Structure 1
Amino acid sequence: MSFIKKSGLIIILGLIACTAVSGDDSMDDLVKVKINDEVFDVKLENNSATQELVEELKKGNVTVNASEYGGFEKVGELGFSLSTSDENIGTNPGDIVLYQGDKISLFYGSHSWSYTKLGKIDNVDSNKLKEVLGSGDVTLEFSLK
């Protein structure tokens, strides 16, 4: 085998190895969520629900009218259902989860329950998030970046 063919084969194998190693649990897709006048980046998980959500977002923005629940989250009807892969998870401020297949919860506090994790607001400051969400109902507008 010539030097050029060997070099090409090594480069191709190296690229394949790098691609396999660099995989993680998050999708490359970023969505945005607008809360009042503040816009936050959301890093999505890689699961069926987020893939379906991205397909819905390709059709247009998704608006969720969310209400206060439990002193740690805002929850509202999605308007359609997504696939679930519920697990008992602990949430933290900025986590966005699917509940019962058709509700979205955005956490500003912590809680444990059976959810399908959708994503997390990037670089969120929990005090700022709680301030933006306020004490009453809020509109969450999800869009593709």
Structure 2
Amino acid sequence: MIRLKAAFLCCSLLLAAAFTGCAADTAASSAPEPEKPSPSVQTTAQAETTPTAVTELRIQAGDRVFTAQLEDTPAAQALAAAMPMTLNMDEMNGNEKYFFLSDALPTNAERSGHIAAGDLMLYGDNCLVLFYESFQSAYSYTHLGSITDTAGLADALGSGSVEVSFSLAE
């Protein structure tokens, strides 16, 4: 398990270094964050995965499985490279589940105004958020992707903390 975490950390650092040169505006979002305790993420190192323009993600909550399409962005590619992972996501505001990742992802935060059920977003540079209700928001997020069919999503995620597994669709 320690070797897998070390391999994941090395891959994440290499990806972060590679993406730093890709966008001129990432320097503004790379301010050091205070250290947070490492979350309990179960992750398995995979052979180097190069996500394509349309990368599909499999999201499982309980016995329900949902398919999401990831954006073709550095943030979404970094998330895809970290797959698979199982996260214990916490509840917030009756409309979202969130989890603080141990590593920062590239950001390109924007204020969209409208959040749709099924949106998968990044708040800050390490808070993965899965929305299960649609609403208006003044917050800025980096859009990672969206679930294509959200029927049953709110029921699958429930009202408290929930274990959610993310993996690349095969």
Determine helix, strand or coil for the equivalent of 2:153. Answer: helix
Output one character per residue of 1:40-62: Cα deviation in whole Å (capped at 9) or x when no partner: 111011111011112222xxx11
Q: Identity, % of aligned pairs?
A: 36
Q: Which has the larger radius of gyration?
A: 1
- Larger % of strand: which? 1
| Aligned residue number for residue 70 of structure 2 | 44
Runs in 1 of length 4+ with deviation above 2 angstroms? none
Determine helix, strand or coil for the equivalent of 1:51. Answer: helix
Counterparts of 1:105-144 in structure 2, within 5 Å, are 105-109=129-133, 110-112=135-137, 113-125=139-151, 128-144=152-168
Matched, 1:79 2:102: yes
Q: Work out the CA distance in 2 between the residues paired with 1:102 and 1:63.
A: 15
Query: Matched residue pairs, number?
Result: 115
Determine helix, strand or coil for the equivalent of 2:141. Answer: strand
CA RMSD in angstroms, aligned pairs only: 1.5
TM-score, normalised by the number of residues in structure 1:
0.74
TM-score, normalised by the number of residues in structure 2:
0.64
Q: Work out the CA distance in 2 between the residues paired with 1:75 and 1:111.
A: 18
Where does the alignment leave 5 or more consecutive residues of structure 1 unmatched? 1-25
Contact 1:98-1:115 at 8 Å conserved across structures: yes
The one-letter code sitting in structure 2 at the alignment partner of 1:84 is T
| Aligned residue number for residue 99 of structure 1 | 123
The one-letter code sitting in structure 1 at the alignment partner of 2:123 is Y
| Aligned residue number for residue 15 of structure 1 | none
Report deviation, 1:96: 0.6
The one-letter code sitting in structure 1 at the alignment partner of 2:100 is E
Matched, 1:63 2:89: no
- Larger % of helix: which? 1
